[in-house]
Structure 1
Amino acid sequence: MALIRISGFSGENRALHPSLLAEHQATVSSNQRPGRGDLRSWNAPQTIATVPAGRSSMYRMGRDVASDAQYWLSWPSVVHAVRGFDPGDTTERTYYSGDGAPKVTDNVMGLGTAPSPTSNFPIASRPLGLPAPSAPLTVTTLQGGTGELVSSYYVYTYVNDWGWESAPSPVSTESNRPSDAQATLAGFTLPPSGNYAINRLRIYRTATGSSGATDFYFLREIALATQTTTDDLRDLGEVCPTVSWAMPPDDLTQLTALWNGMLAGISGNRIRFCEPYVAYAWPENYDVIPPDSKPVALGVFGQQLVVLTNGRPLMVSGSSPDAMDQQLMDLPQACVSPRSVVSMGSGVAWASEDGLCWIGQGGARLITAGIMTRADWQGLKPATIIGAYYEGLYLGSFDDGSGRCGFLIDPASTSGIYFFDAGFTALHVDPLQDQLYG
C-alpha cells in the first residue's frame, strides 16, 4: 500500500489559490492546535471562576496567590489595570483607567473583609490622585520684630493616609515683614467631597537657596482640621516636589506600565506620562502629541512605547518622562480596534484594515501578508478583534456577524493562521499561572 506522509501542518492560507499551497498548508483549518506540526485538537476550556455577565474587561487580584479561582475584578467597560510598583506595598495596590476617571484599589478595599468568589469586584476604589487646594491661605504679621524687611509667599498642599501629596494651592499674597517677626497663617480650605482620605496639610514658604533660585520650602505639617497655625521662623526643609504635579485627567484611558517606574495613558490627542514611581502625578509638561493623527491605543516592547493612531504609528522612547523622543513610523496602518493591541515582548501587534500589523525587533510589517488577502481579513470584521498573548502567539477573538470565533498566528513564522470556534468578549493573561483566561 502506498503511503503519503505529511508533517509540519502550518494552518490555513487564504491568500493563495488552493493549487498553489504547499503540502503542509490548508485551505481550511478549524480547531487545530498549533505547536507540534501535527493535527491535534484543542481540549475543552475549563471553568475556573465566574464573573458577572456582560463584562468587557477582567483582571485577577491576588496574583501572588497560587489559586486562580477567586479575586477576579471585572468591568462592563474596557479597562486597563496596572499593578503598582511601591516595594513597601503589601496590599497589591492596583491602578486602572476606563471605568470613569482613573482609579486605584487594593486587596483591602477592592476585595472587602470576607470576599466571595462570586462577588462583584472591585467593591471600592479611590480616585487616582488628590485635588489641589482651591484657595490661597492668608498671612497676618504678628507684632514685634526688628530685622530687615523680607518678602515671603506661602502655599499649602493636601496629604492623605498613604502619604500622597497634591499640587500646591494658589500662592498667597506677598507678606512683607521683619525677618525676625512671626506670622499667623489661616484660610485653609477643606478638600472637595470624595474618597481621597486626606488627613493633613503641608505648608511651604518661599526662600532663596544656595543656587540663587527662589523656591517653596517645607515649613510645617498640620492636621486637616486645624484652622490656623504660625510661621514660627523654624528652619525650612525640602523644596516642594509637587509644584508641576496634577491629577490624571478624567478622560485618561489605555493606562500602560512602562520602564523606570513610569505609566502612560491617552487623553484626547495627547500621550500623558506620570512622574516616575508616582502614579498619581501627571505633569502636563511631559505630554507628547502625535503629528497629524489621534492616538487610540498603546503597546510596549523593551523600552519602546508604541502609540497606535488613526494614521501612522509612533514610537516613543526615553529614560524619563521629561526626555521622551518620538519617531513616526513609515507604516501607514491605522489601528481599527484598540482592543486588538497586544504587547508580545519582542514587539507589538494590532489590527488594521489591511491585516494584522507588527512593530518590533526586525522592524514593522503586515503579519498576515501572504496568508490572507485584504478581502479575507475584512471578512473577520477587524474592528471587532480582541487580542491577547498566548504561548508566544497572537490570539484574536472576532465577530464576523455569525458569533465570536478566534484565530492564532505566530508573528515570527507566518506560514499559516489557525482558526478555532471559541470566542471571547474579555481576555486576561496571568503571568503567575501562565494561563490565558476568557
Structure 2
Amino acid sequence: MSAFRISGFSGLVPRLAKHLLSSNQAQTATNCNLAGGDLRPRNAALLVFSPQIDGEIRSMFRIEKDGNEKWLAWSRDVDVARSPVAGNIPQQFYYTGDGEPRTSDFEMATTGSGIYPSTCYVLGVTPPVSEPLVMASGGSGVVTSRAYVYTFVTRWGEESQPSPVSIVTTGKIDATWMISNLDAAPPNSGAIIAVFKNSPAAGQAEISLDTVFGLRAHEEIRFESVSGMTDLNGLFTLISVDPITKKVVISLSTDQIYAGGGKWKRQAPHNTGGMNKRIYRTLATSSGSEYRYVATLSAVTKSYSDTVPDTVVALGEVLPSTNWEMSPANMRGIVMLANGIAAGFTGNEVLFSEPFKPYAWPTSYRQTYDQEIVAIAAMGTTLVGMTKGNPFTITGVEPATMGGGMEKLGVAWPCMSKRGVANFAFGVGYPAPQGMVMIGTSSDIVTKDLFTQKEWSELNPDTFIATSADNRYYCGYSAGDSSLMFVIDKAENASFSKINQNISCIWTDPITGKLYVATNKKIYEWEGDTGTKLLYEWKSKWFVTAPPVNYGAGKIDADFEMTEEERAAAQSSYNETIAANQTLISSYSMNDGLADTCLGEYEIGGDATQDIPLLSMDSLQFQLWSDGALKFIKQVRNSRAFRLPGGYKADNVEFVLSGNVKVNSVVLAETMDGLKQA
C-alpha cells in the first residue's frame, strides 16, 4: 500500500528536476520560514522610520546615543564605518559614496528635522599650502640653523600633513624667531569671478573662483546666486582644480551667458570650527634632525614669535603627521578592519589609513592590483577584494607591511554587484557569474549544489542587493518588471526560498544583529511585526509511483490554535495599524488624490494607509495535483484526517500548502488506515 509522510520541510534546489528532489524539498517556497524544519509563515516587516529623502532609499544606517535612536538614509550607494577610536562618545562615523569621503557624529548628523545626515565634514584635514617665512633677530648665544613647518588640527584632534618646509634660517639660539606667512584655515565658501562655457571642452564649464584652497577634483560644491547662467545654480562635482589659475572645471552644457555674481560653497565643509595650528621646528638629536613641537596657535593667527628654548622643545612631540594625507576624493567602499585600520578603494588601488586614524591615508600604504576593484570587505584583520576578475585578500597587522600579505586567488570569479556583497561569520560572500562565491578559510562557489550557472543567471545577480543575518544570505533582486527577495541558508534545511517583497535597500545592524529593509521610502525591521503573518506557499516535489495509484486520504499535522502571546501580538498590530491610518485620515495625508505629487507611488485606488492585519492566523489551503491537473482543494481547519477524491489512478502526484499556520507534517495514503502506516 502506497503512502508517504513529509516532515522536515526544506526549500528549493533549482538545479534539480522536480522528480529528482528529495521528499522534503520544494518546487515552490515563498514567504516560508523553514529554519526549524517545520513550515511556518514569516512575520510581516515592522515600520520603524519614514525618512525625508529624494528618491528611493539605497543605503541606510542606524545611529544611537544615550538611548536616542536616529536613522540616516541616502539615495546613493553609501558605505558607513563606525569610528574605531576608544571612547567614541560622540558616535563619530565615516562614509563614502555620497560625494567625497565624509565624517559626522550623532549631534551633527541629526540636527534639525530634514534629511539625515544633515551636517558633515570632509574626511581628513587639508594641509597648509604656504611656506612659512622665518626671520631671527637679537640674541647673544651660539649660532644655530632652523627650519619650520606647521599643521592644522581640528577640534577633534585630527592633524593635517605639514606645510611646505621653510627656508633653513640661521640665527642666535636665544634669538626671537619670527614665523609669518601662515595660512588661515581653508575656506568653505567664496565668490565666483568668471565663468567660461564650453571650456576647456564642449559640455564643460571653467569657473574662476576667488580661491581654490582646499578644493580637490571629485569633490562636490554648490553654486548659487549666479546671474544669467542660472543653469550653474546647483550642486556639481569638480572635474579638475587648478591652484595656479584658481579655476575649476565642471560638466555643464548650457546656452546661457554668464552675467555676473555668484557664490560657491562646499557640500562637505572643512572642520574649521575651533581649528588650531601647531608649529614645529628642527632640532638636532642623537638620531639626526627632527621636527619637534613648539606651540599651538589659533587657525586665524598668521604669525608667531618663537622664543622657546631648545631644552623645552626637546621634550616636545616629534611631528607625527608627515605622511598623513587625506583620502582621495573619489575613494569608495570604506570598511574598518579589526586592527583599527580603515580601508577603501579607487579604481584598481587599495587604500589604508593609519591605525585608529581614519582621517590619515599615507600614499606609501597603497596597494595596486592588476584588475579593477568592484568592492572590498573586512574579515578580521584580512581585507577581501572583489574585482572584475580574480578576487584577492590582503592580511596584516600594520598597514605598512600589509602589501606582503596580498594574495591573488587563482580563479576568475568576477563580482557582479557591489551591493550584493555580504559578511558572514565564516567569510565574505558575493555574486559571481558562476554562483555565490564565499571567500574564507577556503574559497568556493557555495551555491553549486543549488544552482547551475544558467539558473543562477536567471536571478539577475548583477541586480543583487544583499546582507547576511544569522549567517543566512538575504538578497533582493530584479526579475523583469518585478523586484523580489530570496534567502540562501547553507547551514540548515531551508536551502533556498523566495519572498514576495520589493526592496530598494537591505542592511544588518552590526550592533543589534537586526535586519532592516527599505521600500517605498520607508525603513522596516525585517519580520519585526510578530502580530502579522505573511501568507506562504509551499509546493512539494513531483512524486512518481509505479504502478499508478489513487491517494484517497490525507492528514496535516498543524497548529491551528493561536497562543495567548500570538493573540496579543495580533491585536496590538491591528490596533496600531488602525491608529496610524486614522492619523493619516485626520491630517488629510492619505495621498489619495489623482493630482497629488505622489502620483505613481501607489496602485490605482491605493493610498498611504496600511492594510489592516488579520486578527486570526488559521488559514491553510491544501491542493492535490496529478498529471498537471488540480484534483482536489480544501480549506483545512484542523489536524483530523480527510478523504481525497477517487475515480482515477496516476503515477505522479504533487501538493501545495498555502496559509499562515505552522505545519509540522503532511501524510498521504491510499486509504484512511494507510495513514497510520506512513
1:383 aligns to 2:383 (yes or no): no
1 CA distance for matches of 2:79 and 2:490? Answer: 24
144, 147, 159: which one aligns with 1:150:
144
Match among 322, 336, 350 for residue 416 of structure 2? 336
The one-letter amino acid paired with 1:142 is S
Structure 1, unmatched stretches of 5+, are none
Question: Is 1:359–2:439 an aligned residue pair?
Answer: yes
Scaled by the length of structure 1, the TM-score of the pair is 0.93
Q: Which moved more, 1:14-23 or 1:124-133?
A: 14-23
1:426 to partner: Cα distance? 0.9
Give the match for residue 5 of structure 1.
5
Distance 2:443 2:347 in 1: 26
8 Å contact kept, 2:146–2:168: yes
Is the contact made by 1:394 and 1:411 (CA closer than 8 Å) also made in structure 2? no
Residue identity opposite 2:122 in structure 1:
P
Q: SS of 1:323's equivalent?
A: helix
- Deviation, 1:415, is 7.5
Which whole-Å deviations, capped at 9, do the CAs of 1:72-120 have from their partners, x for residues lacking one?
A: 10011111111112223322111111110111111111111xx55xx41
Tell me what 2:131 maps to. Answer: 136
1:423 positional shift = 2.7
Deviation at 1:330, TM superposition (A): 2.4
* Structure-2 residue corresponding to 1:374: 453
2:569 matched residue in structure 1: none
Q: C-alpha deviations, 1:199-236, integer Å up to 9, x for none?
A: 211111112223x2222111111122223212214221
Shift of 1:59: 0.4
The alignment of Structure 1 onto Structure 2 pairs a total of residues equal to 427
Q: Who is 1:314 aligned against?
A: 392
Whichever structure has more helix as a proportion of its residues is: 2
Judge conservation of contact 2:324–2:360 (CA < 8 Å) in 1: yes
Q: Is the contact made by 2:136 and 2:172 (CA closer than 8 Å) also made in structure 1? A: no
- Give the distance between the partners of 1:319 and 1:218, measured in 2 at CA: 29
Question: How many Å apart are 1:253 and its aligned residue?
Answer: 0.7
What's the offset of the Cα at 1:190? Answer: 1.5
| 2:320 corresponds to 1:230 | no
Question: Any conservation in 2 of the 1:302–1:345 contact (CA below 8 Å)?
Answer: no
User: More strand per residue: 1 or 2?
Assistant: 2
Cα distance, 1:279 vs structure 2 = 1.2
SS at 1:259 equivalent:
coil
Matched residue type, 1:111: T
SS in 1 for 2:406: strand
Residue range with higher mean Cα deviation, 200-209 or 426-435 = 426-435
2:278 pairs with 1:202: yes
Question: 2:50 corresponds to which residue?
Answer: 50
Aligned to 1:294: 372
Give per-residue Cα distances to partners, 1:267-311, cap 9 Å, x unaligned.
222111111111111111111112x21111112223221111111
Q: CA deviation at 1:374?
A: 1.0
Please say if residues 184 and 301 of structure 2, whose CA atoms lie closer than 8 Å, have aligned partners that are also in contact: no
Pick closer, same or farther for the CA change 1:160–1:57 going to 2, 3 Å.
Answer: same
User: Hey, what's the Cα distance between the residues in 2 that align with 1:154 and 1:411?
Assistant: 61
Counterpart-to-counterpart distance in 2, 1:387 and 1:427? 6
Q: 1:427 aligns to what?
A: 506
The residue aligned with 2:483 is 404
Match of 2:406 in 1: 326
Q: Which structure exhibits the higher relative contact order, with contacts defined as CA atoms closer than 8 Å and separated by 6 or more residues? A: 2
Residue 180 of structure 2: which of 167, 170, 186 is its match? 186
**Contact (CA 8 Å) 2:34, 2:494: kept in 1 or not?**
no
TM-score by length of 2: 0.61
Looking at structure 1, the residues matched to 487 and 394 of structure 2 have their Cα atoms a distance apart, in angstroms, of 28
- Report the equivalent of 2:158: 164
Alpha-carbon offset, residue 427 of structure 1: 1.4
- Residues of 2 paired with 1:144 and 1:267: CA distance? 53
- Residues 174, 307 of structure 2: 8 Å contact kept: no
Moved more, 7-16 or 247-256: 7-16
Task: Give the Cα–Cα distance (whole angstroms) in 2 for the partners of residues 310 and 170 of structure 1.
Answer: 40
Do the aligned partners of 1:298 and 1:306 also contact (CA within 8 Å) in 2? Answer: yes
User: What is the distance in 2 between the residues matched to 1:63 and 1:264?
Assistant: 25
Secondary structure of 1:109 counterpart: helix
Q: Does structure 2 retain, via aligned residues, the 8 Å contact 1:331–1:364?
A: no
| 1:209 to 1:7, Cα distance in 2 relative to 1, 3 A | farther
Deviation at 1:323? 1.5
In the alignment, structure 2 segments of 5+ residues that lack a partner are: 189-268, 518-678
Percent same amino acid among aligned pairs?
A: 31
Where does residue 110 of structure 2 map in the other structure?
Answer: 111
Structure 2 residue corresponding to 1:124, chosen from 111, 116, 119: 119
Q: Which moved more, 1:336-345 or 1:54-63?
A: 54-63
